[in-house]
Amino acid sequence: MSVTVRFAPSPTGAIHIGNARTALFNWLFARKNRGKFILRFDDTDTQRSRQEYADRIQEDLHWLGIDPDVTVHQSARFETYDAAVERLKEAGLLYPCYETADELERRRKIRLSRRLPPVYGREALKLGDEERAKFETEGRRPHWRFLLPNFSSDPFQPERTEIHWDDVVRGPQTVDLASISDPVLVREDGTYLYTLPSVVDDIEMGVTHVIRGDDHVTNTGAQIAIFRALGAKEPAFGHHNLLTTISGEGLSKRSGALSLGILREAGIEPMAVASLAVLLGTSESVSAARSMEELAELFDPASASKSSAKFDPAELKTLNRALLHAMSFEEARDRLANLGISGSSAEPFWLAVRGNLETFAEAGDWWKIVRKGPQKQPELSEEDVAFVRSAFDLLPPEPWDASTWKTWTGTVKDATGRKGRALFMPLRLALTGRDSGPELADLLPLLGREGVLARRP
């Protein structure tokens, strides 16, 4: 069977690492199965959806390494959903309801006080034509509910009706249709909730696997019933655990916190984000995968745990460092060139500095230091200035290589009696303007004798 998955964000804000988890679960699942990945904007809420958010989401996905095979907007497909609504109405499976939110809430409380499940009691199904006409003349507009198949002949006598599926992530799942309310599919103003368009599209687009957050598990019970009502066989489902903040709150799209854009601007590598987004909350230990192929190897949807997982931004930094420290020159070459770092010293430079980088952009700072000298005047005591001057007088002749530092400082030690930190720190400060950084043995050949002498205090 060929696999087709979809990622269905609503373009109402920037996506965050939790959304990235859903997108990547789908993307990696498709890659492992040579399947197709659809990006489907869930934008039937035309009030809140924005094209600029859709564009941002697409850019963020591309940055992450996800390039959809197909992109669709649900807002362009209303006719198709209208047709499905007609079919359901004709089948008597979609019925108009006139309750206000307050009325529903009052009834819910009454049911709870009677120890009945707080589900909708289908009161609107009892309305006759006259009563409906009366509501309409009062100016009330109906919202439409789908009649769940949870009864044998009398809809007012719901019975336990189990829907089962073998979840790709969670294993065997059961939802009792008597425990949920008939879902509203169309609002008073005629707009669609996400439930029906999603099913209609999954059918039309041949989606074979719906992989999404476990906040949709109950929905799935109702949606499977809708698939069947529309004469289709439901796809397979997978519900992954959600990520939360360190303090356990859900990640919210609207808050903008931890959006992919912010992580990107902070210099976090896409594979650091992808690795954490996928491996967190699974039985696989979190490590930095260097490519999507490598991550696909580590990815197993069934290894996700059933409870939510806490996302700690500090972990991203750790993964980021690991990626940079292990990045080969070949991988870095084009990006270095974009920072103006090229030529024969680009490779030794990269190998010298990568182990000290928090972000790739910092390579640009080190390049300036190597090429132009300290970016900030080193603070050296008078005594240290004298020491550095005498050390510079002892510089060996070129050619220089990785052993030059050892030879030179050996000579300096013998001549001045300084050793350890007292010897190398003033030299490091004079050469780089910083008190930490790449190995001086590696930097020295990059600076060259002339470069070192130009730093004479």
We find the least distance from the C-beta atom of residue 42 to ligand GLU, in angstroms, to be: 4
Q: Which of residues 153-182 bind ligand GLU (CB under 6 A)?
A: none
Which lies closer to ligand GLU via its Cβ, residue 217 or residue 322? 217
| Residue among 212, 239, 321, 418 that touches ligand GLU (CB under 6 A) | 212
The rounded Cα 398 to chain-centroid distance in angstroms is 51
Question: Per CB under 6 A, does 194 bind ligand GLU?
Answer: yes
Q: Which stretch binds ligand GLU (CB under 6 A): 47-55, 209-217, 361-369, 381-389?
A: 209-217
Mark residues 424-443: x for contact with ligand GLU by CB under 6 A, - for none: --------------------
- Work out whether 122 is an interface residue with ligand GLU (CB under 6 A): no
Asked if residue 241 binds ligand GLU (CB under 6 A), the reply is: no
Residues within window 359-398 making contact with ligand GLU, judged by CB under 6 A = none
Using CA atoms of 112, 114, 117, 123 in order, give the dihedral in degrees to the nearest 10.
-100
Tokens standing for 167? 């979840």
User: How long is the chain?
Assistant: 457
| Among residues 198, 208, 282, 404, the one that binds ligand GLU under rule CB under 6 A | 198
Stretch that binds ligand GLU, among 2-10, 113-121, 134-142, 387-395 (CB under 6 A): 2-10
Residues 21-50 that bind ligand GLU (CB under 6 A): 42
Name the strands in the sheet holding 236-240, side by side, starting at the edge strand that comes first in the sequence: 70-73, 36-41, 4-7, 209-213, 236-240
Minimum distance from CB of 165 to ligand GLU (Å)?
14
CB of 208 to ligand GLU, least distance (A): 14
The reply on whether position 4 binds ligand GLU by CB under 6 A is no
What is the nearest approach in angstroms of ligand GLU to the Cβ of residue 7?
Answer: 7
Minimum CB distance to ligand GLU, residue 253 (Å): 9
Kindly report the backbone phi and psi dihedral angles of residue 223, in degrees, each rounded to the nearest multiple of 5, phi listed first: -70, -35
Nearest Cα neighbor of 454 from 362, 333, 370, 335 is: 370
Binding residue for ligand GLU, selected from 3, 4, 5, 9, defined by CB under 6 A: 9
Q: Which stretch binds ligand GLU (CB under 6 A): 6-14, 258-266, 271-279, 442-450?
A: 6-14
CB of 180 to ligand GLU, least distance (A): 16
Residue among 238 and 281 whose Cβ is closer to ligand GLU: 238
Q: Nearer to ligand GLU by C-beta: 9 or 301?
A: 9
Q: d(Cα 196, Cα 191) in Å, to the nearest integer?
A: 11
Question: How would you classify the pairing of strands 94-97 and 143-146?
Answer: antiparallel
Which residues of this chain interact with ligand GLU, rule CB under 6 A?
8-10, 42, 194, 198, 210, 212, 216
